[in-house]
Amino acid sequence: MKKTLDAIFNMGLPARDIKNANYVNLWIFIWVVSMLGSIGLIEIGREAQWSYFSALALSTIALHTLIGVIMVFVYKRFLSALDEMERSVQLNALAATVGVVFVGFSSYSILEKAAFLPYLKFEYILMAMSLTYSLGLIIGRVRLQ
Report pLDDT digits (tens) over 66-101. 999 999 999 999 999 999 999 999 999 999 999 999
**Span 2-12, pLDDT tens digits:** 777 777 676 67
Q: How far is CA 104 from CA 10, 93, 100, in A?
A: 29, 16, 5
Helix axes 15-48, 53-81, angle to 10 degrees: 170
**In whole angstroms, how large is the CA radius of gyration of the chain?**
19
Q: Where are the domains of the chain?
A: 1-82, 83-145
User: Which helix H or strand E contains 45, and what residues bound it?
Assistant: helix 15-48
**Span 16-40, pLDDT tens digits:** 888 998 899 999 999 999 999 998 9
Strand blocks (E) in 1-145: none
Q: Is residue 107 over pLDDT 90?
A: yes
Cβ contact 96:132 at 8 Å = yes
DSSP-derived 3-state class of residue 120 = coil
